[in-house]
Structure 1
Amino acid sequence: MIAFVSFPVPSVNTEAYAVARHHLDVEEDALMDLDDEVEASGSNLKLTCPGESLTSAQAFMRGHGTYVDNEEVISSLAGTVERVNKLVTVKAIRTRYNPEVGDLVVGRITEVQPRRWKVDANSRQDAVLMLSSVNLPGGVQRRKLESDELQMRNFFEEGDLLVAEVQAFFSDGAMSLHTRSLKYGKLRNGQLVTIPPILVRRLKSHFISLPCGVDLILGLNGYIWVSKHVKESEQEGEEGFDAEAVYSNRNDEIDSATRIAISRVTNIIRVLAAHFVPLTDVLLLESYEWAIEQEGEPMDLLHDDVGEALVHAITRG
């Protein structure tokens, strides 16, 4: 015969627990400590490592990248600390890009499939660019015909670089891209730089023109395109655009001064990324002006002492 024995439930002083959990003094001190650490670290980013105590678990809720031990929120990975109200999270330094609708991304065509292209966008899986989501010759919105599908490699083929916008997500989580604006599309006349996506800040515009005749496209996925400047008049006119120019695989003539400027900007981005400095338009312009004042070659920026001097010069304020 089986007998069931019930054990008494241990009593919990709920009032004392609530007071300890929401004590104002503890909460305010923890908030001040966390904010002070973030501000002292510069650029509103606080780096942390696994096992480091972040704040009190009595005042904050733990988010991704953290766990609770001995009434403290502990980091479980190496990354940057972020706080939204009372939620503390840690974003990994080295991680794949996590896309959102409306993001600007730079990608590389990896495969041409029926009525779609697969695009490497530094995410967990390849993105998809549908044939119906690109501009076709003539500049008018129309149904894509079988003849358009047969000419897909005339628009994009394996290895081509492009800039696009995240339009939606498929059921399996893959992002759907579109290039329906002439400011999007195939990339030419430049160089690709790859940095951790966490270092690309969300700006009002991710198309940046520097006075040295260099254009930058800061992809939120960590792919940055540095190219020669394109005049605005060449980008205008949605109707009747020149398809051969838009989808051409040939680079334009680039003079030596512009090539040097592109190399200098590229090396500046590499130096800032190596020192974990987030990129903004103002910071890039200050960095370029500092590099010009040094009157050195673009390759000199990759020397350790010069790179450290650059970072110190632009972050000391």
Structure 2
Amino acid sequence: MITFTSYPTQQDYSAHSSTKHHPDVAEDVHMDLYDDEAFAAGAKLTLPGEYLTSSQAFMRGHGTYVNDEEVIASVAGTVERVNKLVTVRPVRTRYNPEVGDLVVGRITEVQPRRWKVDAHSRQDAVLMLSSVNLPGGIQRRKLESDELQMRTFFEEGDLLVAEVQAFFSDGAMSLHTRSLRYGKLRNGQLVVVPPILVRRLKSHFITLPCGVDLILGLNGYIWISKHVKESDQEGEDGFDAEAVYSNKNDDIDTATRIAISRVSNIIQLISAHFMPLTGAILLEAYEWVVEQDCGTKDLFQDDLGDALITSLRARG
């Protein structure tokens, strides 16, 4: 026997008609938007549907919308303000490049007079042959012989650090390595974090006291390597071409290997707790680990990892 059950035809949508406001977060973000010093002290996290500020006092930007004269967050991320423009930078998103940004990338393809580079963006970046330093003089013209030897400079899989120079008509970024600080990367380890955690700093080249160099790429690629003096790369023509484009790693002692692994674990732990990565924070974290005499793998234990994060937040 078949029976039919009737359901009410009217539903109560009142719970969804108004924007949900978090009682703790919304008020804090709203106050900080008016307080320049408090807002600059640190990024404020917000969730979709959170009230940010009044649309009469601020203009809405990306990641927000206006409802009943209120600026509401449409994505989860950090609140950013430029004058009267309020935006929300999503937590999980591809890198959005700007001219002058320092990025770490990986060569994906060698093409005529150019390389394709994976830079954690929406499309591959382009490194032109005319935008790299070549043996025989930094400013010399690129010849046909240089084009035939492109794989001796960069080949598929090579890691490099470069600067965003310009953008093509299709939106792809053009990179350049015309500096002794840029070029192929060796003697280290790559760590990938969300790009939102890497802030724009005065210098993205950091040297820790443990003999480890850090390159904080704004695209979320972080390179951790053995410390190399700048004078070691200089040659008769301004730079040592064999050292700059060599694919062979140097001999790394055990202590440096342990330091690189320890810094890598620290970065992964900090990024897992969604804390910004700056030179000061990384230095404090490394000093704390040394004081606690933690092993390389000990940081992934819940008690030590939580203790490190608590210490960093207390100092910040």
TM-score, length-normalised on structure 2? 0.86
Aligned to 1:221: 219
Aligned to 1:8: none
Which region of structure 1 is more displaced relative to structure 2, 298-307 or 45-54? 298-307
CA–CA distance in 2 between the matches of 1:36 and 1:294? 40
Q: Report the residue type matching 2:314 in the other structure.
A: R
Aligned to 1:62: 60
Q: Secondary structure at the match of 2:170?
A: coil
Structure 2 runs not aligned, ≥5 long: 1-26
CA–CA distance in 1 between the matches of 2:187 and 2:28? 51
CA–CA distance in 1 between the matches of 2:189 and 2:91? 24
CA–CA distance in 1 between the matches of 2:68 and 2:138? 63
Aligned to 2:292: 294
Q: How many residues align?
A: 289
Kindly report structure 1 stretches of 4+ aligned residues shifted beyond 3 Å: 29-32, 34-43, 235-238
CA–CA distance in 1 between the matches of 2:73 and 2:129? 44
Cα deviation code 1:69-92 (max 9, x no counterpart): 122111101001112222211110
For residues 238 and 97 of structure 1, do their structure 2 counterparts lie closer, same or farther at Cα, with a shift above 3 Å needed?
farther
Question: Is 1:253 aligned to residue 251 of structure 2?
Answer: yes
Question: Shift of the alpha carbon at 1:242?
Answer: 2.5
Alignment partner of 1:172 out of 153, 170, 173 = 170
CA RMSD of aligned residues (A): 2.1
Q: Report the residue type matching 1:198 in the other structure.
A: I
Aligned to 1:110: 108
Aligned to 2:15: none
Aligned to 1:24: none
CA–CA distance in 2 between the matches of 1:235 and 1:155? 15
Q: Report the residue type matching 2:119 in the other structure.
A: A
Which region of structure 1 is more displaced relative to structure 2, 81-90 or 101-110? 81-90
Q: Percent identity?
A: 77
Aligned partners of 1:131 and 1:144 also within 8 Å: yes
Aligned to 1:267: 265
Cα deviation code 1:173-229 (max 9, x no counterpart): 111111111111000000000111111111111111111000000111110000000
Q: Report the residue type matching 2:176 in the other structure.
A: H
CA–CA distance in 2 between the matches of 1:171 and 1:40? 39
Aligned partners of 1:138 and 1:240 also within 8 Å: no
Question: Shift of the alpha carbon at 1:235?
Answer: 3.3
Which region of structure 1 is more displaced relative to structure 2, 219-228 or 41-50? 41-50
CA–CA distance in 2 between the matches of 1:214 and 1:108? 21
Aligned partners of 1:138 and 1:241 also within 8 Å: no
Aligned to 1:142: 140
Question: Is 1:196 aligned to residue 190 of structure 2?
Answer: no
Aligned partners of 2:233 and 2:240 also within 8 Å: no
Q: Secondary structure at the match of 1:285?
A: helix
Alignment partner of 1:151 out of 131, 149, 152 = 149
Question: Is 1:71 aligned to residue 69 of structure 2?
Answer: yes
Aligned to 2:4: none
Q: Report the residue type matching 2:192 in the other structure.
A: T
TM-score, length-normalised on structure 1? 0.86
Aligned partners of 1:38 and 1:46 also within 8 Å: no
CA–CA distance in 1 between the matches of 2:40 and 2:131? 41
Q: Secondary structure at the match of 2:66?
A: strand
Aligned to 2:205: 207
CA–CA distance in 2 between the matches of 1:276 and 1:36? 24
